[in-house]
Structure formats: structure tokens, C-alpha cells
Amino acid sequence: MKIVDCDYFVVGSGMAGLMSALHLASYGKVTLATKLRLQDCNTNFAQGGICCVMDPSDSFDKHARDTMIAGAWLGDSRVVHEICSHAPEGIADLVACGVKFAVKGDGSWDLTREGGHSARRILHAGDITGEKCEAAMIRRIRRSGVDLRERTVVIDLVMSRRLGMPGENRCLGAYVLDRDSGEVYAIRSPNTILATGGCGKVYLYTCNPDCATGDGIALAWRAGAKVENMEFMQFHPTCLYHPNARRFLISEAVRGEGAELVDKHGRRFMEKYDPRGSLAPRDIVARSIDSEMKRTGDDCMFLDIRHKGARYLKRRFPNIYAKCLSFGIDMAKDLIPVVPAAHYTCGGIQATTDGRTSVPGLSAVGECASTRLHGANRLASNSLMEALVCARLTAARLGPNPERFAAKPKIPAWRTGSAVPPDEAVLVSHMWDEIRRLMWDYVGIVRTNKRLARAAHRLRILRREIRDYYFRYLVTPDTLELRNLAVCAQLIVRCAQKRRESRGLHYTLDYPRQAKTIRQSVLPGFRSR
């Protein structure tokens, strides 16, 4: 079996992965693997922008307070202050990559505002900020000397305990699958950094790309890493509702620039739920839209920004305007139909701001990590900020004094046993659909103990069926994603069952009030017998 050696093995090509690799490239050999193309990631779909205090009238303390309020006070205040205060360094890293953020006529930053923010502090590059950042980072990393391995799927992490090695259980790298050749080989590294994004595809309706299957979270949990707060899945309140519109978001910046949420008659309704109206945090807005849809029986609610006029909308939101127009919706003349959709994983692998997890040799950065910045609900545009800051801090920890192997561990060849090529792919697609539908029906925006129990029961059965399929047939990318998706679904349900209160994104009819005691929902990593 082929073995590739490197000093740092980065998994994922979003902002967290690319920035980690770029920072680490000056310290040693970096190998970066991503299961599709570099640009196939959540970062590439980010519209609104990146949080960073830039206005003299604003402050890090104000930003931190807004973050804590949005997260229902479940965030760690020290972590929140640390990440908010390091944001300007992350913005400087992007500017160095060639990202051009929007500026006003006088040369000052053109800052916008989104729900939950008390000030304008969102830097943006039009309404395709993520796409422009991703493109700039890809251009830079292709010139950096990093060993880039696209269309490479991580099967499982290689752990010392599973190899029978003495001492503490640590990560030694990973087995990977080349999508094109079908070859399975190992990447051996004393420093593995997971930057694989979230698990939005665990739900039937999501604005995430198809690759958001929670791979890093599942890999880390199977390796024994602690996972926490998975019950806090953020539903973006304003996904475009149209039969031909797949995964298209109407950015929160649209509300930040004056759009109001209304019903089909044009009547505003958000003030009934929160005094901040349409600029309330995402958890409140998503629940409010869901409540109005259930109350009225309507399929969607609407955004109204017609008062801004076509000239302004075409300049400020050119991509969104054109996309809506392609579906026959003129933002300057028509109401925009919207519904909530699964968007962001606020929990994940328990990690420090510099990426340290509970497993030696394994780091986690970005959406797959739970640093306790977001608490029970992510404040708009804090995600890319976290990715930038934590990638820089992780590289600062690992770079100057990296972990080294005293002697390269012997990684055994991948064993296929009696596995045969799969001949019933319909089983994979059926189980995939069943997981996503039961999560939407039973573990969605509003939950109950009974719904969670039903989901837990069915997921136990499905995971047994998936395990049987996994060992019976040769691994494929679809099988690996299904396996990881099922793990994430089960972790979400288990965390939700542990939380006997309603807080932030976790709302249950059985415990509608917020508990006085603030606690995290931590799950131990998997321990194989």
C-alpha cells in the first residue's frame, strides 16, 4: 500500500482548511486533501460577509456581547473575546491573498449590518463574498508548494490504539480513497487538522452543498474525540422558495439593508415575536417563519425590499438580483418567497481556539469544530471570522514546535477481507433519503421528546444496516458519506435528548423555558471493543 508522508495533513478546502495550510506551509511539508474540487465547500457559497470591528464607534466588547446574546449565553466569554479581537489579523490575511472588500467613495470600508448585530461590522465583497475569498485563497495555495489532493476521500483516521501501539491513543494520519482510481492508501502525519465543514445534508432541506455530510465530525468521534452541542443546528431563515431553486440563500445582508419579513398580503409579522423585528437573530427568525407557516397553512413567507429600487439592488446584490430574476422574481417589484433551511452546525468536535482536540495529534478548525464561540446559535457572519482566526492560531501552535514521530509508525495495508463490489446502490440512496427525512420531521426547528425518541430508535436500526453494508462491500464515496451522515444524525439526537430546556436553536415543546443553569452537552468519543 502506498503511504504519503507529511508534517501536516489538512482535510478540507474551505476557508479554515486553506488558511491552515497556507500558514503551515512555511514550517514543513503540508498535504491537503479534499473530497471533490478545492472550491466545493461551504465557504464558496457564503454571501453576506465576514465580521470584524472596523468602525471607531464600534468595539470588540460590543461585538462580543452581540455574539453572547445571539448564542443565548451558552458561549464561552473568553473564547468570544479572543476570536473577536483577533479578527483584524484574519482580514489582513485575506487582503494579502488578494481579496478586495467593498469600500465607500472616501476609501473607508463599506460595512453592512445583519441580524443580531448592534452595529455595522460586516465586510463584504458584494453578495458573493465567500466565492471571492475562496478564489483568492486557491490562487495563493496553488503557488505555495502545498501538496493538493483533490477528489480524495478520507475513510478513517489511523489511531495508535487500533494498531496495538503502547502509550496514549493518538492520531497517526488517515486512510484515504482516490475517487478516480479507486486506490486506497495512507497519509501518515503526526499532525492531522480536520477542517471539513458541517453536516447540513443530514436534513432534507438545506442550503448547504452536497459535500456537507459531517465527515470530520464523524471521523473524530470514531477516533475517540469528544463531540459537543450537536443539537444546535442553525436553520437559515431565508432560503429562496421556488421549485427550481436548489440551495439558494437570500443573504441576511438583504434584511440588514432594509428588507422586511411579510406574509403573502404584505403584512409584517416579526414584531409579534421579537422587538428587533426582521433583524432578530436567526434562531428567532426561523422559528417565527415556521410558526407563521403553520398558523396560516402557507408554504412560505416573503421578504419585501421593493422600496430600495432596482438601481440600488442591482449594485448591492447583483448575484441575488440576477438569480431571483432567473426564476421570474424581480426584487424591485415582487415579494421574495422564503423558507427556513438547515444551514450551519454550531456544535462539533470539542476544540480550543488553536485547534486542540481531546485526541493527541488531531486538531479541528472551522465549522466542524466547537470552540464555544457560537453557543446555542451563531451570530450572522461570525463563521468565516472564526475560520480565519482559528486557522491562524492553530498554525501558530503547530508550526514552530510541531509534533514529530520518534520513529515512523508502521501502518498496515488497507484490508478488504471478503468485501465485494457493491451491486445494490439503491440501498445507499434509500437509507440516505430516510435519514434526511426523519431528521427533518423529528429533529427540526421544533422538537419533542416523542419525536426525538422515534428518531433515535430508527437511527439505531439504520446504523446497524449501514455497518453491515460497509463491511460487506468495497468502500465507495457514497457509502462513506452515508456512514458519516448517520453518525452525525445520531449525535444530534443524543445531544438534543440530553438538553432538557429550550435554548437558542434547540426548541422543544416539552421544555419550552430556558434553564437557569448553563451547561454544554458533551458526548465522549466512540470506544471500539
The whole-number pLDDT of residue 529 equals 37
Cβ-Cβ contacts under 8 Å for 371 (sequence gap 6 or more): 76, 79, 83, 351, 352, 353, 386, 390
Strand duo 50-51 + 122-123: pairing: antiparallel
Residue 252's pLDDT is: 87
Grid cell, residue 213, equals 455530510
The catalytically annotated residue of 113, 188, 282, 483 is 282
Alpha-helical segments (H) within 142-281: 215-222, 252-256
Cβ distance 295 to 272 under 8 Å? no
SS (H, E, C) 156-171: EEEECHHHCCCCCCCE
| 351-406 residue pLDDT tens | 999 999 999 999 999 999 999 999 999 999 999 999 999 999 999 999 988 778 88
DSSP sequence for 39-68: T-SSGGG--S-EE---STT--HHHHHHHHH
User: Which residues fall within 8 angstroms of residue 180, CB to CB, at 6 or more apart?
Assistant: 151
Task: Give first-to-last CA distance, the chain, whole Å.
Answer: 26
Instruction: Give the strand order in the sheet containing 8-11.
Output: 147-149, 30-33, 8-11, 192-194, 362-364
- Mind spelling out the 3-state secondary structure of 424-442? CHHHHHHHHHHHHHHHHHH
- How far apart are alpha carbons 268 and 32 in whole angstroms? 48
C-alpha span between 158 and 189 (Å, rounded): 10
Domain ranges of the chain: 3-231+346-398, 238-343, 425-512
Which residues neighbour 529 within 8 Å (Cβ) at sequence distance 6 or greater?
none
List of residues 6+ apart from 327 with CB closer than 8 A: 240, 242, 244, 245
CA 293 – CA 341 distance, rounded (Å): 14
CA distance 135 to 126: 14
Neighbours of 378 (CB within 10 A): 28
In sequence order, what are the residues at sequence separation of 6 or more whose Cβ sits closer than 8 angstroms to the Cβ of residue 315? Answer: none
The CATH class for the domain spanning 238-343 reads alpha beta
| In contact, 351 and 76? CB cutoff 8 Å | no
Low-confidence ranges of the chain (pLDDT < 50): 529
Whole-number pLDDT of residue 48: 83
CA distance 109 to 103: 4
Domains 3-231+346-398 and 425-512 share a fold: no
Helix or strand or coil: residue 350? strand
Minimal CA–CA distance to 303: which of 339, 341, 272, 276? 339
Question: Can you tell me the distance from the alpha carbon of 398 to that of 477, in angstroms, rounded to the nearest whole number?
Answer: 30
Please give the Cα distance from 127 to 179 (Å, whole number). Answer: 33
pLDDT (0 to 100) of residue 419: 87
Please report the pLDDT score of residue 528 as a whole number. 55
Note the pTM of the prediction, 2 decimals: 0.94
Give the 3-state DSSP-derived string for 223-241, with helices as H, strands as E and coil as C.
CCCCEECCCCEEEEEEEEC
Sign, Cα dihedral of 486, 487, 488, 489: positive
- The reply to whether 372 belongs to the active site is no
Give the HSE-up count for residue 46: Cα atoms under 13 Å, Cβ half-sphere.
Answer: 31
Fold of 425-512: Methane Monooxygenase Hydroxylase; Chain G, domain 1 (1.20.58)
The confidence score (pLDDT) of residue 115 equals 86
Amino acid at 67: T
Is 123 in contact with 103 (CB distance < 8 Å)? no
One-letter amino acid at 476 equals T
Beta bridge partners, 8, equal: 30
Q: How far apart, in whole angstroms, are the C-alpha atoms of residue 34 and residue 420?
A: 26
In 3D, which of 452, 449, 228, 436 has the Cα closest to residue 342?
A: 436
The most distant pair of C-alpha atoms in the chain lies apart, rounded to whole Å, by 70
Assigned CATH for 3-231+346-398:
3.50.50.60
pLDDT digits (tens, 9 = 90+) for 130-153: 999 999 999 999 999 999 999 999
Nearest alpha-carbon partner for 47 in 150, 133, 173, 144: 133
